[in-house]
Amino acid sequence: MEAGREKGLGYPEPIVLKIPSSAEYILLARLVISCVGRLAGFEPEDIYDLKLSVTEAATNVIRHAEVDSFLIKYRVIPEAVEITVIDEGGGFDIEGFSEQRGEHGGFGLAVIQSLVDEVILDSTVRGGTRLKMIRRRTPMGRISQP
């Protein structure tokens, strides 16, 4: 495993956190992503964006999923961090949701999309929701655009 990390291959095993569906635990989710971002060699600005992404995703679950708890999986992959938020709530129709953004929310997902490089959303009515977010590491010296 050490040799893989030295070559930039990431960490094969995810860190899995089961969180009670309560706002008090969002700080814990933010703390874990902060540590994962440091493991991946992210700059402080990139770690801040990851923390905001996790906050938005967890807040969405707490507000909308109506579950007792949910999972967050954190993985360091080559040159990136992957975060997957999984709930076993009622789910929703993704197509219908995107057409009505603003009427019943949807702004949290827009914020997430602005903070990470890739978003994969999978949800089915009465089948739960899985949100995968991938943020690639910013190359050293790259200037962020406002």
Residue 3 has pLDDT above 70, yes or no: no
CB 28 within 8 A of CB 94: no
Kindly tell me if the per-residue pLDDT of 8 is higher than 80: no
Residue 103 has a pLDDT of 54
Residue 82 lies in a domain: yes
Amino acid at position 80, single letter: A
pTM to 2 decimal places: 0.84
pLDDT score, position 133: 98
The pLDDT, as a whole number, for residue 140 is 65
Rounded to whole angstroms, how far apart are CA atoms 32 and 16?
10
What's the pLDDT tens digit per position in 94-135? 876 655 555 555 688 999 999 999 999 999 888 999 999 999
In a domain, 23, yes or no: yes
pLDDT for the residue 93: 80
Flag whether 101 is in a domain: yes
Asked whether residue 78 is domain-assigned, the answer is yes
pLDDT tens for 67-88 read: 999 999 999 999 999 999 999 9
Q: What is the model's pLDDT at position 139?
A: 76
Domain membership of residue 79 (yes or no) is yes
Give me the domain span that covers residue 55.
Answer: 2-136
Mean pLDDT, residues 18-37: 97
Residue 8 lies in a domain: yes
Q: Give residue 1's pLDDT.
A: 43
Measured between alpha carbons, how far is 6 from 80 in angstroms, rounded to an integer?
Answer: 15
Q: What mean pLDDT is predicted for residues 57-70? A: 96
Q: What is the mean pLDDT of the chain?
A: 87
Domain count, the chain: 1
Q: Give all strands (DSSP E) within the chain, no chain letters.
A: 15-20, 69-77, 80-87, 118-124, 128-136
The answer to the question of residue 144 being in a domain is no
pLDDT on residue 44: 96
Domain-embedded: residue 145: no
CATH code of 71's domain: 3.30.565.10
